[in-house]
Structure 1
């Protein structure tokens, strides 16, 4: 991820030095978006640092796909255009997903995304209640929604370690969802 960011910064600088009047940074995956606030004193706000660095390198506008948080727009000194991949992904899922399936948010942060997918697919939503124990360890125990005997489609905007997805799938299976799980 870091080397791609440096490559983008170098391209922006080259465009600026080459006389470009404007430059738009198109970032399909804004990898530092999860760092959108300080968890404790002394932590960096990575998304703000990256946004400021893009602007310093010459970006006048930023286009991102499904950022982890809409707060990214407020952190940027430049205009931000947010695109979504949900229609394309939901259309692809529609071809493979039975109408008895349920769309599952693996945590509260993914509820809006799950509802967006479910709305396009005409399916109900379930939510897994998760608690993060550490950076890599999560605990999931409850599911809100009807999942018994249904295939599940788990949607999340970002997977770093896979811990949230693994915990969600384990809980879904333990509570009666079919083993036919799509992530």
Structure 2
């Protein structure tokens, strides 16, 4: 087994290698004067089971292209199998037609990855589960929730919180999280006027005198989370914290979070955490051990789903 990393996930890859007890493979990524990406694998991979760790986060196109070129280099180096470990799967929100003549880009990316030569995809909290069906190779979709549950239990101790879904689409996630904590749930009813702009309309459930936990799969501009925190506190909540798997944090997100009424926002390191290290309210929960254990199990042909039994 050999593990390589793209430039977007080097820190996470090193932590994964530390968990597994192996060294990170040698790669050299460079660019020609016209910004074409060139990837050179620095060691023999012939007949090896290879894992490439690379989130396709911003800059999404560059990171995706680097991943594709790395996979092609490994395939041409006669690797036995190639698993793309993509903790954050970019373009996942484009999983259906939202208007006439609009693309389904998540499907396109799936086809391109398969054509490049991957034999398996390992990812974390896909934005929509049906994306697994876009691939003609096996997909292992891991969940950050068990790590969030352990963290929340340790943080809250005997306090029973109120778990809040920031929108109707996240109810299943919130209900599963609440079940693990033995907590009740509430739902934010919001109306989205246009992309990345949201307006909180109503809270379904009683949040008065409760410590609230907002749970979501990602935070992009963070408008939804920040407005949800405002609404909960206006209705009498004691405090509000948030858990998100993917901290995209684009545009004004960091400024919004720092100025918001959120006590803390916990995000995983599926996306490089260095970009938001200056925001004191954002705390990182590493997924290195979870991803590392999944890689070991794939290498040993053991069950990955049993991690969540």
Q: Which residue number in structure 2 is paired with residue 8 of structure 1?
A: 67
2:149–2:177 CA contact under 8 A, matched in 1: yes
2:150 equivalent among 91, 100, 116: 91
Question: Superposed, which structure 2 residues align to 1:108-119 within 5 Å?
Answer: 108-119=168-179
Q: Which residue number in structure 2 is paired with residue 173 of structure 1?
A: 233
Q: Which residue number in structure 1 is paired with residue 189 of structure 2?
A: 129
Query: What TM-score comes out, normalization by structure 1 length?
Result: 0.94
In structure 2, runs of 5+ residues without a counterpart are 1-56, 243-309
SS in structure 2 of the partner of residue 116 of structure 1: helix
d(CA) in 1 for partners of 2:153, 2:160: 12
Residue 29 (1) aligns with residue 88 (2):
yes
d(CA) in 1 for partners of 2:224, 2:101: 26
- Alpha-carbon deviation of 1:64? 1.1
1:51–1:76 CA contact under 8 A, matched in 2: yes
Q: Which residue number in structure 2 is paired with residue 156 of structure 1?
A: 216
Q: Which residue number in structure 1 is paired with residue 165 of structure 2?
A: 105
From the CA coordinates, give the structure whose radius of gyration is larger: 2
Query: What TM-score comes out, normalization by structure 2 length?
Result: 0.57
Q: Which residue number in structure 1 is paired with residue 103 of structure 2?
A: 44
Report how many aligned residue pairs link the two structures. 182
SS in structure 2 of the partner of residue 157 of structure 1: strand
Flag as ranges the 4+ runs of structure 1 deviating above 3 A: none
Question: Which structure carries more strand by proportion?
Answer: 2
In structure 1, runs of 5+ residues without a counterpart are none
Alpha-carbon displacement from aligned partner over 1:16-43 (angstroms, at most 9, x marks no partner): 1011232111111112111100111222
- Alpha-carbon deviation of 1:7? 1.9
SS in structure 1 of the partner of residue 84 of structure 2: strand
1:52–1:76 CA contact under 8 A, matched in 2: yes
Q: Which residue number in structure 2 is paired with residue 120 of structure 1?
A: 180
- Alpha-carbon deviation of 1:114? 1.0
1:154–1:181 CA contact under 8 A, matched in 2: yes
Alpha-carbon displacement from aligned partner over 1:32-81 (angstroms, at most 9, x marks no partner): 11110011122221211111111111111111111111011111122111
Residue 144 (1) aligns with residue 200 (2):
no
Alpha-carbon displacement from aligned partner over 1:119-155 (angstroms, at most 9, x marks no partner): 1111111111111111121111211122111111000
d(CA) in 2 for partners of 1:128, 1:119: 18
